[in-house]
A and B are shown apart, each in its own frame.
Chain A
């Protein structure tokens, strides 16, 4: 053990007298950089709290989120608002779009999981969660726009249908997927509504509960209303 510990000058560290089971302690001054770190974080707390709560600097999470989502929705509707049936048929004949749509459709975990690679909604004779997309019977309407709306916004009663893909895939890819599906159909082919189609029930269709996705409008709606 260090025995020359008597403090000769004030710069020497002081060794405290007390010995605990052989352990001694110096009484060094606190390192300045360490103290400043502590002080700065404390001052930062006070200043930041003042800024938030006294001077109202900074946006609230709510406001930030609400405005972003509203902007995003508006941008989407602007992009999709003008789309017509004819345009969609046009796209379905564009091999580049169809190819891109196919790539998305066939990505594992995406459309193909429930609707099968051949769009039949069955795999090896077993029914998959999705409905067939290669016949002329449609649950939610068979016009290109109705189809696109279902892909974009999901089924009205989501427990029995599919999810809204637009927020996940973005406008470009949902359009491509619609083009890919339409490429399996011909313009002017007969469209039949399925027996369980909510469109047949009209008013009898369950109104969506508040909080679930708003029922998709038959035609692309203007900017979706905000939750508030």
Chain B
């Protein structure tokens, strides 16, 4: 006998998250339009805290964590309660989650413009805020899983699969990538340096896109799209196949952000091939969205909600096709570091995330305030201006990216020199950057119209919490699967068997690896045969799994953890001293280190890379001497954080040291256009007035030494003295050229750093090789040297 009970959903927290998302959406996009304008009009760098380098992290963090973050929480809280037929686990936790998240956003909005930064993209927030984010995420997880635990709906719907994968994966990524050792309350150095930092950062960075901007939004799509279309979801089995392939494959794709860099080639290839394999799973989500509308296409004309959802899903399809394309090494050599990538992320962020948010908000507002949408024509206007805005933006960025990429690679007729200077290429993309401002502004106007429309809707209604009568399900009807049931069965056994054999192919020594591959192929054949024989049994097992949230969560975690482990562990355990490719960077002196921290805090990495790729135009342009070639692993091995960058709005600085004299740098920092006419770099006059932090230096050096940077033991006073002496030298040199600059200023420190960039020496082989360090050389296949990027010191 079933008992019935009446429940009231916690829709208050949904309303709160929704309003927060609207407000921060406007903020994120306003900052976006401002920084896009700064690229064309350097005069808009109005103050040091309003300069591009500091505002760009604010823009990305606000768009990801404040706008999409709050939108995602609104969608998750609304749909989870209904899919579980129960109120959220705890009102207290819901409240802590909401207010905690807004406090984090406020803290970010203050610290980023002030220049407090960890110097890694989308991971800029300083360590105390990192801890807060992790804690609030734990609060969210507990609240979510409490809801699952007490659910009155035995089976877990596909939207919840995606929420589960989001929660466990974001926690893993965020914690690992933010591991750092504090030097003060506001500053820390990442645990990882150089190539290790690069790999972990882009494992995180790429999967922030995957598991913060994609999987939760797919979950939202699976709930709100069929609701709005009033049609059944297209295919349950497509949901299964695309969910599991998506979460398993996505995590491997991070290295596609590091193609042609000093990252070992086997990782680059994994990144590329897994990105290509991701194409179909991503399109599985698109298909399930688009085809759900079959039989209801007329709604596309009448219902703005459906219109936004379908456009969003289409943009999702477009960017998940473009993603694999951009990860092909040959395409990437043109597109990477250019505006093409910027266009790509915005077709995802504005098209997919922004339009899913809009569709969801238009659907939610009338229900949460029990009224009707104020104006359908305003929503339609939002749709069209938004769509044209995105298209203008994306097309402008495509042209800009391809054009700048081609210009940067163009050589003179005899091939001995480069056709264009970097500044030439900048001037030629200016009109396109202007179009981008217009496209972005159009999108923002549409978004503001939505805010107005929703505000009018809300004013007409009253907050409404839905109540519903539900059947209470008995214990035993759900969550009754044991460990054995979860892990010992055909589907799991065959999947893992095949995965282990493929792992053997990648990592076993020569000879046995091919055997392992052959076994994997045979084993896959057996698995397919078994599946065909007993597909009923397999699908019955899966339906049973859906009645058990914890086993489901554990299997999801296993699926997302594998790729990361296989890529990261070998890179971490490697003996860095043996893997510097014949070059090791000279340690930063105290003054240079102070300068580097200022470089990081000003966000210079947002526009300047420090990585000469294994590409001819890169070596010719940034060598500076061609025989120095591309950047080797060792040249950044002690960099905490690494600064390889992801976009070249300005030229690469990997070997900037010594290319120009101090006076040039001084003039250029004070007024970039005096030395580089037409440059769009903000001026950095304020660095000439501030003193660099001498007191922090001994602590910073001690922390770096702990992290494995081989600093010799130095007295605190000696450190400070060395910094001042080196500063004095630069000041004297400048004085000889008629410029007065105090030796203890930040500008002197930055010049010292810039002059050090790219200085390296031969590694002292005997000394470093005898160090007792766990480690095997790259690649992790000891039998087969990676002749495509041999990373080893020649003894």
Contacts and interface: CB of A to CB of B under 8 A. Distances in A.
Given A30-B238, A214-B625, A41 B661 contact: no
A189 interface: no
Contacts of A41: 273, 276-277, 279-280
A79 B514 CA distance: 50
B417 A209 contact: no
Contacts of A107: 421
B675 interface: yes
Contacts of A45: 273-274, 276-277
A18 B664 CA distance: 71
A109 B660 CA distance: 13
A22 B506 CA distance: 46
A27 to B, nearest CB: 5
A62 B245 CA distance: 34
A79 B614 CA distance: 26
Interface in B647-690: 657-664, 667, 675-679
A198 B491 CA distance: 74
B626 A72 contact: yes
Interface string B301-345: 000000000000000000000000000000000000000000000
A49 to B, nearest CB: 7
Contact of B658 (A49, A52, A69, A159): A159
Interface in A109-134: 109-110, 113-114, 126-129
Contact of B276 (A21, A44, A157, A174): A44
A119 B241 CA distance: 69
A27 B658 contact: no
Contact of A60 (B234, B235, B517, B787): B787
Nearest to A27: B236
A197 interface: no
A86 interface: no
A203 interface: no
Interface string A152-180: 01100111111110111111111000000
Contact of A61 (B235, B287, B788): B788
B423 A65 contact: no
Interface in A54-88: 54, 56, 58, 60-62, 64-66, 68-69, 72-73, 75-76, 79
B273 A2 contact: no
B83 interface: yes
Interface stretch (A31-39, A94-102, A137-145): A31-39
Nearest to A16: B236
A62 B787 CA distance: 9
B416 A79 contact: yes
Contacts of B411: 170
B227 A49 contact: no
Contact of B232 (A15, A75, A158, A209): A15
B738 interface: yes
B667 to A, nearest CB: 7
Interface string B211-249: 000000000000100110011111111110100010000
A159 B675 CA distance: 17
B232 A25 contact: yes
A49 B270 CA distance: 9
B396 to A, nearest CB: 25
Number of chain A interface residues as a range: 35 or more
Contacts of A172: 412-414, 416-417
B678 A128 contact: no
Contacts of B614: 61-62, 64-65
A185 to B, nearest CB: 24
A216 to B, nearest CB: 10
Contacts of A163: 624, 659-660
A30 to B, nearest CB: 6
Contact of B737 (A54, A73, A127, A212): A127
B85 A26 contact: no
B661 A160 contact: yes
A96 B627 CA distance: 32
B455 interface: no
Most buried by A among B232, B269, B616, B789: B232
A159 B755 contact: yes
B418 A170 contact: yes
Contacts of B506: 49
Contact of B416 (A28, A108, A170): A170
A23 B83 CA distance: 9
A29 interface: yes
Interface residues of B, number: 96
A202 interface: no
Interface string B729-744: 0000000011000000
A22 B779 CA distance: 52
A174 B659 CA distance: 17
B661 A161 contact: yes
Given A60-B788, A61-B789, A109-B676, A168 B232 contact: no
Contact of B759 (A16, A26, A212): A212
Nearest to A28: B235
A9 to B, nearest CB: 18
Given A23-B233, A75-B416, A225 B627 contact: yes
A129 B245 contact: no
B82 interface: yes
B87 interface: no
B277 A38 contact: yes
Contact of B233 (A24, A31, A158, A226): A24
A76 B85 contact: no
Interface string B761-775: 110000000000000
Among B284, B678, B761, chain A packs the most CB atoms within 10 A around the CB of: B284
Given A44-B276, A211-B628, A213-B625, A65 B616 contact: yes
Interface string B604-622: 0000000000111001110
A217 to B, nearest CB: 13
Contacts of A56: 787
A149 B592 CA distance: 31
Nearest to B85: A21
B327 to A, nearest CB: 11
Contacts of B616: 65, 68-69
A212 B762 contact: no
B628 A227 contact: yes
Contacts of B755: 159
Interface of B: 79, 82-83, 85, 153, 155, 157-158, 223, 226-227, 230-239, 241, 245, 260, 265-266, 269, 273-274, 276-277, 279-281, 283-284, 287, 291, 295, 411-418, 421, 423, 506, 513-514, 517, 582-583, 614-616, 619-621, 623-630, 657-664, 667, 675-679, 737-738, 755, 758-762, 784, 787-790
> Across chains A and B, which 7 residue pairs bring their CB atoms closest together, nearest first?
A170-B417, A108-B677, A38-B280, A213-B625, A28-B235, A61-B614, A170-B412
20 contacts: A16-B236, A20-B155, A21-B82, A34-B283, A34-B287, A38-B281, A44-B276, A46-B517, A64-B614, A107-B421, A108-B677, A109-B679, A129-B663, A129-B667, A159-B658, A167-B418, A210-B762, A211-B758, A213-B627, A227-B628
